[in-house]
Structure 1
Amino acid sequence: MSESPEGSIVRATLRGLMAPKRLAPLLLVSASLVFAQGRFSRDPLAVPLGIMLCVLFVAVAPVSYRVLFPEGLEFSHGGVRLLLYGAVGSGVVLSSGYVLPKLLRMAPTFLTQPVNLAVCGALYLVGGWGLGRDIGFEESLARERARAARLELEAEQAQLLALRSHLDPHFLFNTLNAIAEWCRTDGAVAEAAVLRLSAMLRSVLAGVRSATWPLDRELELLRTLFELHLLRDPELFQLSFEVAPGLGEVPVPPLMLLPLAENAVKHGPAAGHRGRIALDISSRDGELVFTVENPGASKGPREGSTGLPTVERRLALAYGGKARFSLESAEGRTRVTVTLPRSGPLLGVIT
């Protein structure tokens, strides 16, 4: 059976009242009232009656306010709910502070004197409004924060989907043109290029709806990318691939490292800086350390660039700020280092 909205509001309100920031002031005020009730009253039931009045206020006033005004006090509801809230409050205060003492034949007490009882009624109505409103605002704020987080996640995931379906068009066009040329001059090379390009596109599409995949899958994609570049120009660069044993099953976000490999070729050998591209993956203190070096000094991300900034945003989102990214340039070479928790990313499956 599904929960009714009223039941949910009652439970949420009672949980809110138990929060230390509300419970402590409530206990302090209640203790003061009960102390005054005992100090200035002679009837032996004065203190139990004071405790009961305080408990009824805490248990009924904010709950009744929130049930009657779940979206806050709006006069568009009409005066009926406001009158009903006042009637409930008056009923609780009068029944417990006037009718019950009469039935029990109690002597006059501090809180049940007419003037003080009227003050108790005002405190009931205003206190219930204040506490209910505070709890409602807190819940609204929590919902808005959750909504903002969902919107941020959805925006990032939309960008992620675009990124995952992205391969440098210039690279693709050049590769396809090269394959067309090889078809006339070297069928075997053309066939190898088609197979590698097909495998690469298949891997990209496989990663579109996955939150994680094993590091081996990511490295296979990177190797295919490098092999395609070397098929077009075997002298373009020398490749060094060092992966520490036992890391192949570590979960990583799909295509997280692909832009880094693309950049290493694009801004290194493809930009005229011939030399060695070195990729190294190791484990250190429960973290996965990915490093890629390429010839050519980096000048940092260009204005309007989306490659490396997107990788940084994805890392922050996927690992909750626990991943680190750094770019260094020295002695005519550029090094990018990405440090990831071996436990894997936090993102759920993208639908």
Structure 2
Amino acid sequence: MSDVARDMLPLSRVFAETVAGLAAPRRLFPIAVVVVPLLALQRSFSHDLMALPIGMLMCAAFLLVAPTLWRYLFPLHRVRAPRLVGAIAYAAAGAGLMFGIGRWLPDALGMGGTLLTTFPGTLVSVALFWVGGWGLARDIDLEQHLRASQA
């Protein structure tokens, strides 16, 4: 498959390849090194029983959406949409997901504040979504393109 064809895959295929890339041990271990302590802190510094599930949902949303969306919007060798449109969509998705799960869902459930659901905690989560999604996506894309070029 050519680089151009690979870069213009449908979203479902980009998602499947991203999940497979995230499950690779070279990424899964560093992800666990970040996620496990983050969730432990979320549980330790939060009194609400829903604190851990909310933290897990935030982490899952980040891992499944951020790198997939970056890879879909910004393929390595093609332009799917104007860069500004893609950047706005990516930024809005990250802010919407993290604020939706981290602020609005806990409010709807009547939860108290938690480490990740305070306003500053949610801002940090948005920043991690943006930068972490970009980093994971680039790593997966570069690895795939390297393998394809060596085949």
> CA–CA distance in 2 between the matches of 1:97 and 1:72?
34
Shift in Å, 1:72 = 6.4
Q: Which residue of 2 aligns with 1:40?
A: 45
Shift in Å, 1:28 = 1.7
Query: Deviating runs (4+, > 6 A) in structure 1?
Result: none
> CA–CA distance in 2 between the matches of 1:72 and 1:111?
36
Query: 5+ unaligned residues in a row in structure 1: which ranges?
Result: 147-351
The letter of the residue matching 1:9 is V
Q: Which residue of 2 aligns with 1:136?
A: 141
Deviation track 1:243-283 (CA, whole Å, cap 9, x = no partner) reads xxxxxxxxxxxxxxxxxxxxxxxxxxxxxxxxxxxxxxxxx
Q: Choose which of 115, 118, 121 in structure 2 pairs with 1:113.
A: 118
> CA–CA distance in 2 between the matches of 1:47 and 1:64?
25
- What are the equivalent positions in structure 2 for 1:182-331 lying under 5 Å apart? none
The letter of the residue matching 2:146 is L
The structure whose residues are more often strand, as a share, is 1
Q: Choose which of 125, 129, 133 in structure 2 pairs with 1:124.
A: 129
Q: Which residue of 2 aligns with 1:5?
A: 10
Q: Choose which of 59, 66, 80 in structure 1 pairs with 2:64.
A: 59
Q: Choose which of 13, 17, 20 in structure 1 pairs with 2:22.
A: 17
The verdict on how the C-alpha distance between 1:113 and 1:88 changes in structure 2, with shifts beyond 3 A counting, is same
Aligned CA-pair RMSD: 1.7
The verdict on how the C-alpha distance between 1:99 and 1:86 changes in structure 2, with shifts beyond 3 A counting, is same
Q: Check whether the contact 1:41–1:108 (CA below 8 A) recurs between aligned residues.
A: yes
Shift in Å, 1:73 = 9.2
Query: 5+ unaligned residues in a row in structure 2: which ranges?
Result: 1-8
> Greater relative contact order: 1 or 2 (C-alpha under 8 angstroms, separation 6 or more)?
2
Deviation track 1:41-85 (CA, whole Å, cap 9, x = no partner) reads 1111111111111111111110111111122697x9330111101
Q: Check whether the contact 1:66–1:72 (CA below 8 A) recurs between aligned residues.
A: no
Q: Which residue of 2 aligns with 1:30?
A: 35
What is the TM-score normalised by the length of structure 2? 0.88
Deviation track 1:79-116 (CA, whole Å, cap 9, x = no partner) reads 01111011111111011001100100000001111111
The letter of the residue matching 1:18 is A
The verdict on how the C-alpha distance between 1:58 and 1:73 changes in structure 2, with shifts beyond 3 A counting, is farther
Q: Check whether the contact 1:111–1:117 (CA below 8 A) recurs between aligned residues.
A: yes
> CA–CA distance in 2 between the matches of 1:40 and 1:5?
41
The letter of the residue matching 1:46 is A
